[in-house]
């Protein structure tokens, strides 16, 4: 990261704590976002950002935390809590429209406790890129929906996850991690594979099977997307679970 701001990452399972120190401004916010993004790619149950040693030189730079919060809401569907901001930073966070949704706590212990309590139930499975992976994915959805009492969600969620897994089998050909997370009002579905090649929907073509499944994902999910994750990518979808 920039020499003007440093970042220490502490894996205090199930919560990851990131301690920033130095100057936050428009020049350093980009490196802060990249580091927080890398922490999210590890799929912690929750993320705490300690601002106790940060001097904010430009209030516009606080947008980095709002962007991280929005990113985490979609994938990996984890709570993000800020803690120990200096008085002027606390005031700016409250006055900035984009940042008002951010949970802020007085100290790291309180933030870690709040983040842990807000962590959502989830199921994970590692699958190989074989034909049977789609069946295993559907079984995982049925299991999750039974545990979380979401019988009406099992059908659409099974289709969505099966299509995402099938896309990895057909195109990426790498092992994958499947994660189901219940953060109401959505069941969050994510598949992380080892290929950086982005997925794209295409208009159905009788000469090609590619891209058709993602049209189903787009129809059944409230939102979906594809983001870099480590050496590969994560494809995520949010299925209504009300």
Domain check: are 47 and 140 in the same one?
no
Instruction: Tell which residue, 210, 207, 117, 213, has the closest CA to residue 162.
Output: 213
Residues 6+ apart with CB under 8 A from 180: 122, 123, 124, 140, 141, 144, 157, 161, 187, 188, 189
Domain check: are 133 and 102 in the same one?
no
**Whole-number pLDDT of residue 207:** 43
Q: Which of 118, 152, 187 is the last residue of a domain?
A: 118
Direct distance between the N- and C-terminal alpha carbons of the chain, in angstroms, rounded to an integer: 41
In this predicted structure, the answer to whether residue 2 has a pLDDT above a threshold of 50 is no
**Whole-number pLDDT of residue 202:** 58
Domain check: are 203 and 223 in the same one?
yes
The total number of structural domains that make up the chain: 2
The CATH number given to whatever domain includes residue 195 is 3.30.565.10
Overall average pLDDT of the 218-233 stretch: 93
Assigned token pair, 36: 């927080």
Overall average pLDDT of the 123-148 stretch: 96
Reported confidence tier of residue 11, pLDDT bands at 50, 70, 90:
confident
In this predicted structure, the answer to whether residue 205 has a pLDDT above a threshold of 60 is no
Concatenated DSSP letters of the chain? --TTEEEEEEEETTEEEEEEEEEESTTTHHHHHHHHHHHHHT--SEEEEEEEEEEES-GGGGHHHHHHHHHHHHTT---EEEE---HHHHHHHHH-GGGTTS-EESSHHHHHHHHHHHPPPEEEEEE-SSTHHHHHHHHHHHHHHHHTT-TTTHHHHHHHHHHHHHHIIIII-S-EEEEEEEETTEEEEEEEES--PPP-----BTTB-TTHHHHHHHHH-SEEEEEEETTEEEEEEEEE--
Give residue 140's domain range. 122-240
For residue 14, cis peptide bond before it (omega within 30 degrees of 0): yes
Domain check: are 102 and 130 in the same one?
no
What CA–CA distance (Å, rounded) separates 84 from 23?
Answer: 15
Model pLDDT for residues 42-98, shown as the tens digit of each residue: 999 999 999 999 999 999 999 999 999 999 999 999 999 999 999 999 999 999 999
Q: Which of 118, 153, 176 is the last residue of a domain?
A: 118
Overall average pLDDT of the 29-46 stretch: 95
The CATH number given to whatever domain includes residue 57 is 3.30.750.24
In this predicted structure, the answer to whether residue 23 has a pLDDT above a threshold of 60 is yes
Reported confidence tier of residue 206, pLDDT bands at 50, 70, 90:
very low
Model pLDDT for residues 88-121, shown as the tens digit of each residue: 999 999 999 999 999 999 999 999 999 999 999 9
Domain check: are 143 and 80 in the same one?
no
**Whole-number pLDDT of residue 212:** 61
Domain check: are 233 and 130 in the same one?
yes
Domain check: are 234 and 172 in the same one?
yes
**Whole-number pLDDT of residue 118:** 94
Q: Which of 80, 102, 118 is the last residue of a domain?
A: 118
Domain check: are 127 and 236 in the same one?
yes
What CA–CA distance (Å, rounded) separates 160 from 25?
Answer: 40
Model pLDDT for residues 142-200, shown as the tens digit of each residue: 999 999 999 999 999 999 999 999 999 999 999 999 999 999 999 999 999 999 988 87
Domain check: are 208 and 224 in the same one?
yes
**Whole-number pLDDT of residue 209:** 45
Domain check: are 65 and 31 in the same one?
yes
């Amino acid at each position: 990261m920039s020499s003007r701001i440093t970042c220490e990452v502490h894996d205090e399972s199930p919560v990851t704590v990131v301690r920033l120190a130095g100057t936050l401004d428009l020049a350093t916010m980009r490196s802060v976002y990249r580091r927080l993004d890398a922490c999210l790619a590890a799929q912690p149950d929750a993320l705490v950002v300690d601002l106790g040693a940060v001097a904010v030189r430009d209030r516009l730079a606080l947008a980095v935390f709002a962007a991280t919060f929005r990113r985490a809401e979609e994938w990996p569907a984890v709570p993000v809590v800020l803690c120990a901001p200096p008085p002027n930073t606390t005031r700016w966070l409250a006055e900035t429209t984009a940042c008002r949704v951010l949970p802020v706590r007085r100290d790291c212990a309180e933030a870690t406790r709040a983040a842990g309590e807000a962590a959502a139930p989830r199921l994970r499975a590692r699958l190989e890129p074989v034909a049977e992976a789609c069946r295993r994915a559907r079984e995982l959805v049925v299991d999750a929906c039974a545990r979380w009492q979401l019988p009406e969600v099992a059908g659409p969620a099974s289709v969505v996850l099966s299509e995402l897994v099938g896309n990895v089998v057909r195109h990426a050909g790498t092992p994958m991690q499947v994660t189901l997370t219940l953060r109401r009002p959505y069941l969050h579905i994510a598949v992380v594979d080892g290929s950086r090649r982005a997925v794209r929907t295409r208009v159905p073509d009788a000469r090609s099977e590619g891209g058709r499944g993602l049209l189903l994902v787009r129809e059944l999910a409230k939102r979906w997307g594809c983001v870099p994750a480590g050496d590969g990518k994560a494809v995520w979808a949010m299925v209504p679970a009300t």
